[in-house]
Homo-oligomer: A and B are copies of this chain.
Amino acid sequence: MFAVYIFVIRTTAPIIMGISERKEREKIDKKQLIRSAAMKMFLEDGYAKTSIRNIADAIEYSPGTIYLYYKDKDELLYEVQRDAYGKLLEEFKAKAKHKDPVKRLMQIGKTYVAFGLANPELYDLMFIIRAPTNVDEELHKDNGGDSYFYLLDCLQECIEKDLLKVTDLNLCALQTWSVAHGLVSLNLRCRLKMMVEEKDMPKVLNDAIESYVKLLIK
């Protein structure tokens, strides 16, 4: 009985597996197709103005098909967000790699703010937009953690070498992220228009984060 079972697997498995593997790949491809079309349209027109129908039209499938790959519009957003978090981490790895942790901290801050200014719609998607359906959203717990750990590592090194005026790692990370996020998100919501002219925005925000990091270091 056992031997027969093995026999069956050995003869049919290669054919079955080859096809099911291809199908698996095609499924992933289609998920990516949907996700990249969605990302493109979210960035161009904003999340709210992008409908499932629009996305379906763009990839030339029916609306129903999207629901075969994503539970709802929210889940699609979350997976698009995950892609976006990767981009920020890439940016950090590319532009914040100074050996001196304090200088790296400064680079991280400036890179973050510049990223938010350069990709407003993307930033919105990542940190500001709330999916209407699931108000609870436990999902963000691990999402985007990698880029946060990049900051955390840097700060830890700073603190270990006793270069900062703050010694509590978590408090320091929270505070630093808050300054950067605050600057970017207040700008994105046009709350700085009353104080800063549009053309001066990059310089002003850059100065603000620079000033903050300088406050932080001994």
Contact = CB atoms under 8 A, between A and B. Distances in A.
Nearest to A142: B194
Interface residues of A, number: 49
A193 B140 contact: yes
Given A180-B182, A208-B174, A189 B48 contact: no
A127 interface: yes
A64 interface: no
Nearest to A173: B195
A183 B183 CA distance: 11
A122 B189 CA distance: 16
B132 A208 contact: no
A174 B215 contact: no
Contacts of A180: 178, 182
Given A49-B132, A181-B185, A189-B130, A212 B175 contact: yes
Given A140-B190, A171-B211, 11 more contacts: A137-B190, A144-B191, A148-B194, A148-B195, A166-B211, A173-B195, A174-B208, A178-B180, A178-B181, A179-B179, A181-B185
